Structure 1
Amino acid sequence: MADNALTAPLRSPLSGVADRLAAATRTSAGEIRLAELPFLAQINVRLDAKGPAAEAVGLALDLQLPLQPNTVVRAGELTALWLGPDEWLLVGPPGSERDLESRIREAAGDEPVSVTDVSAQRTTLLVTGPRAHDLLAHGCALDLHPRAFGSGRCAQTTLGRTQVVLVARDEPRAGFWVLVRSSFAGYLADWLLDAATEYV
């Protein structure tokens, strides 16, 4: 009997290239590490940053939404990315989507707020290692030097002609998250593997 959408196990967009990502990591002698972080919860939130809902949502999540453009705020396992003056992306551990949605809606009460689960829309690539900046610079127009795009920064940009959300992680040597639409994930993984060949 064929699996249907309700009984089939979850399959990440990059499950077919996981071995190639691991092999590139092994052969780069620590210069580059590539891995997928599949199934992260991703919740798009839109609300008035100066209204009462913003403060209430921040208290409910134990994390204040970042108000400075292209910045990231992290508390525990939850990360908030600034996408616009009234738009954020919350990234949390796999399986936390419903809890995050209900906490936000309950905190906002009757205030106008848009809460959309976009977890299935994107997957996340982790790019770390001493040459991570160099690798990403091959296909990204942003200045990725730590002075310009240091830890705690994010941006909607293109990488290898693919629209992504790029996040400079704030832990030591944590590298970057590259959030990419699932339909372009295979292409972008191939692009990264090809661009990484000079480091292996």
Structure 2
Amino acid sequence: MTAESALPALDVLEPLRAAPARHLTDLMAAAAADGPRAVTLHEHEFAVQIGLRAAPGSASARALETVLGVPLPGVHGEVTGDPDGLHVLRLAPDEFLAVDVSRRQRPGDATPCQDALEGLPGQAVDLSANRTVLVLKGPGARAVLDKSVALDLRPRVFGVGRAEATLLSTVPVLLMRSGEETWRVLPRASFAEHVVRWLADGMTEYGSACPEEESAARSVRPAQFA
């Protein structure tokens, strides 16, 4: 079956698709905090993700750049393209991940890149089902991540448009800063539930005005016990 012939079948099956963390939607909503340290968590479902391999500066890299309309990142940690659309992360010297969050994954998304590499060394593979995209957003988002990620996330070190492979707790993830207060965490689908629950647990303290006030309130005994 070709990608084109699979499209009608996909239209029928689309309502049945379940993202890795969809069953945790209520948990993520309940963990959201308001106020000066507000933070929310949600899953961006079915983003397009295409794994690419090509030596930088090679004919293969140029062919991919022509098809994507986006240059491949030249240095580690760099993200090229539009963070709210198609962008490319550099995972290794010759390995990249093209991500498009502006549309849902469909069969054949990797075909243009595969065709561009015809006769050239390199690889293009649809990895959309490999990872999911979790979005942590708000003034408290960085503080939540600081508790679990062994990276310096200060803006002067980890600015908007940077991405790194790291561990969140004990889980390998890709971490990208897509906005001043917006972070994307990309775990493998099989680890999505663990990561969501871990992040949600880390968000619980941000529902109060500040930790000191919350601690003081708990320490005050009711009058009847004074």
Q: Return the TM-score normalized by structure 1.
A: 0.89
SS of the residue 2:132 aligns to: strand
**Is the radius of gyration larger for structure 1 or structure 2?**
2
**What is the deviation of 1:35?**
0.6
Aligned to 1:117: 126
Task: Check if 1:32 corresponds to 2:39.
Answer: yes
Q: 1:64 aligned to 2:74?
A: no
Give the superposed CA RMSD. 1.8
Which whole-Å deviations, capped at 9, do the CAs of 1:144-193 have from their partners, x for residues lacking one? 11111111111110012111000011x454x1110001111111111111
Q: Which runs of 5+ in 1 are unaligned?
A: 1-5
- Within 1, Cα distance between the matches of 2:106 and 2:67? 14
* Letter matched to residue 86 of structure 1: D
Q: Alpha-carbon deviations, 1:9-52, whole Å to 9, x = none?
A: 11111111101111222x43361011101111111100111211
SS at match of 2:151: coil
> For 2:200, which of 184, 193, 200 is the aligned residue?
193
Provide the TM-score with structure 2 as the length reference.
0.79
Percent of paired sites with the same residue: 34
Answer yes or no: is the 8 Å Cα contact 2:73–2:79 preserved in 1.
Answer: yes
Query: Who is 1:55 aligned against?
Result: 62
Give the Cα–Cα distance (whole angstroms) in 1 for the partners of residues 124 and 187 of structure 2.
20
Change (3 A) 1:129 1:15: same
What residue number does 2:214 align with? none
The total of aligned residue pairs comes to: 191
Check whether the contact 1:34–1:127 (CA below 8 A) recurs between aligned residues. yes
Code of the residue aligned with 1:79 in structure 2: it is H
Using the alignment, how far apart are the partners of 1:88 and 1:78 within structure 2?
13
Residues 1-200 of structure 1: pairs in structure 2 closer than 5 A: 9-25=16-32, 27-29=33-35, 31-75=38-82, 77-92=85-100, 93-96=103-106, 98-99=108-109, 101-169=110-178, 171-173=179-181, 175-200=182-207
How far off its partner does 1:136 sit?
Answer: 0.2
Runs (4 or more) in structure 1 with deviation over 3 Å come to: 27-30
